[in-house]
Structure 1
Amino acid sequence: MLEKEEAERTRRLARKVQDFREQKQQNKSRREFDLWDPNQLWKGFPGLHSNNDPYCGLASMQCFSGEDLEKATCLRMQQEQFRCSLEKQIQERQQARIDEMYIDDLHDKLRLAMETRAAQLAKLEESCRISMRCAMANANKAQAAEMAEQRCHEYRREQEANLKEIQNQIKSDLLSEKPQVTQYSGAPCPVLPHRWKGMTAEQRAVIRKAQEAQRHEKEAQRQAEQARDAEWESQAKCLAQAAMELEEQERELCAEFRRGLGSFNQQLASEQRAHQNYLNSIIYTNQYPHLRA
C-alpha cells in the first residue's frame, strides 16, 4: 500500500516537472535561442525587395531556398489561368453537347426523310407493279384471243382441206377397184405402185402354183439329204465296227505275242540255267568228262 502511494506521488511529481518544462522552459524563451534559431535567415528582412532591381545583379542575391517575391501575383495569374481553362472546358463541353444534339437532330431528320422516301418509293413500286400486272394481263388476254381466233381459222382451213381431199379421193381412181388403173403401158414398170390395188385371182393362182412347185422341190431336197445322211450314218457304223474288229485282232495278236515271248523267255531261261549249271558243275571245278573216263 505504501509502495503504491510512493509510486503515485513520484508519478505526480514527474508530471508537474514535465508540465513546468513545457510551459516555462521552452526553447523560444531562452536567451541564446536567437543564436541557433533555424529560421533566423527567414525572419531577417532581405536586402532585395524585387527581382527587377537594376542595381542588383545575380551576385547580389541573398536567399536561394524557395524565395519568391511575386508569389501572390503568380497565384493570381495561376488562378486566372485555371479559371479561363475551366471556362473554356465548360464552353467546349457545352458546345460539344450542342453539336451532339444538332447531329442527333440531323440524324433523326435524315432517318425520317429516308423512311418517308422509302415509303414513297414502295408505294410507287407497288403502283408500277400493279400497272405492269394489269398491262400484262390485258396483253395475255389479247394474245389468248388472237391465238384462239388463229386456231379457229386453222381448224376451219384444215377441215376444208380434209373435205376437199376426201372428195378428190372419192372422185379419183385411187379408191376404185378397177385393175386397169394400175396398168400403164408407157411406164418402165407395167404396174403403177401408187395405184396398185392388189393381185387378181389369176396372179394369185400362178403364185400359189409356183409356191407348190417350190415346196415339192424343197421336199425332194430334204428327202435326198435324209438319204445321204442315213448313208453317211451307215458308213460310219461300218467303219466303227471295222475299227472295233481291228482293235480286237490287235489285242489277240498282242496277247499271242506276249504268250510266245513268255514261252521263249522261259526256254531261254532254262537254257541259261542249264548252261550255268554246266559251268558251275564241270567248267569251274576243272572236271572234264574225257579226263574222268
Structure 2
Amino acid sequence: MFPAAVRWSDCEPAAVTRVRVGTMRGSELQSDQVEAVSLARKRDRETQRQGRIFNAKLRTIGIDKDALDYQVRERKEQERKEADTQRSYAADLLHSDRISCLLEQRQRKEQRRLEGAILQFRRDFQQPENRREFDLNDPALLRKQRGGLVLPGLVGEDPGSAERHRRQQEQMRDWSLQQRRELESARLQQRLEDQRYEDSRITMDHRAVQLQNIEADHRRSVAMATKDFNLAMAAESSERRHQARLQEEAANGEEILNQLQGPLLSESLGYGDRLRRTQPSSYKGMNQDQLRQIRECQRQQVEDRQRAHLEQQRRQLEWDGRSQAAEHHGLLLERQQARLSRQLRRALDSANAQLASEQRTQKDYLEKEVFTNSPDSRYFAQFNTTSR
C-alpha cells in the first residue's frame, strides 16, 4: 500500500474537466445544427438548379442574374456565419487551452509527487534481498554455498548445449562470411562498372581532343602555306614594280640626256660624230660593227627573255609542288579526322543504343508492372452529376 500522502486528489480536476466537456459538447451540438440546416438548404437549391439546368424546355440561353445575386448574398451570409463560428471556436479554444495548461501543470506536480513517493517506498520496503526469487539471482550464491558441489545430471541440465551453441556460432560465422563475400562482390562489380564507364569517358575525351588538335594543326598548316604563298607573291610583285620603275627612270634619264645633248639644243655640227650619231642628211647605212652590236644586243635580249621564262616556269613548278603537297597533307588530315569521327560516332551510337535499351526496359517495367490500373466506365461515370 502507498502512503496516504501520495493519494490522488481529483476533486478540482474533475470539476474543471466537466466544465470543459460541457462547453465543448454545447459548441459541437450548436455547430452540428447550423451545419445540418446549411446542408439542407444547399441540397434544396441544388435540386431546384438541376431542375432548371437539366430540363430542356425550361432552360434558357444566358445568365440567371437572380440566381447569381442570390448566390452572392448567400455566400456573404455564409462567410459572415463562418467568421462568427471561427471567432466562437477561437474563444472556446483559448478557454480550453487555459484549462488544459492548468490541468497539465497540476498533473505534472502530482506525477512528480507520486514518483517520489514510489521511489521512497521502494527504497524502504522493496529491497532486492526481500524478494522471494533473490536466491536464484544472488550474485554471491557460490560464495554462500561454502564449497558445495553440484551433482551432474540434475533436472533441467542440457548436456548438448555446448555442441549446439558451437554449431550455432559456426552457422552464424558462415552466414556472416557469405554476406561479406556477397557485399564485397557487389562492391567489386560496382567499382568495375564505374571504372569501365570512366575509361570509356576518358577515351572519348582523348579522341575528341585528338580530333581538335588535328583540325587545329591542319588549319595552322593551311594558314602558314597561304601566308607564305601570299608573301612570296607580294615580294615578287614588289620586285617587278621596282625593276620596272628603275627601267623607266633610266629610260627617262637617257631620253632627257639625249634631248639636252642633241644637235637641236647644242647647235654643234660635230656633236653627232662624237656621240657616234649620224646626221640623217649624211646617213649611208650601218657598218658591220653596228650590225654586230645590234645582233649581239638582240641575242642578249633573247637569252634574258628565255632565262626569265625558265625562272618563271621554275617558280610556277615550285609553287605547284607546294600546293600539291599542302593539298595531299590536308587530304590525309581530313581522312584521319573522318576516321576518328566515325570511331567516335560508333562509340556514341553504342552508348545511345545501350541507353535506349535501358529506357525501353524501364518503360516496359512501368507499363507492365507499375501502371496496370487503367480507368473504366465507373471512373467516367462520376462526372457531370451536378449542375456546377
**Is TM-score (shorter-chain normalized) higher than 0.5?**
no
The structure whose RCO (Cα within 8 Å, separation 6+) is larger is 2
TM-score in terms of structure 2 length:
0.24
TM-score in terms of structure 1 length:
0.31
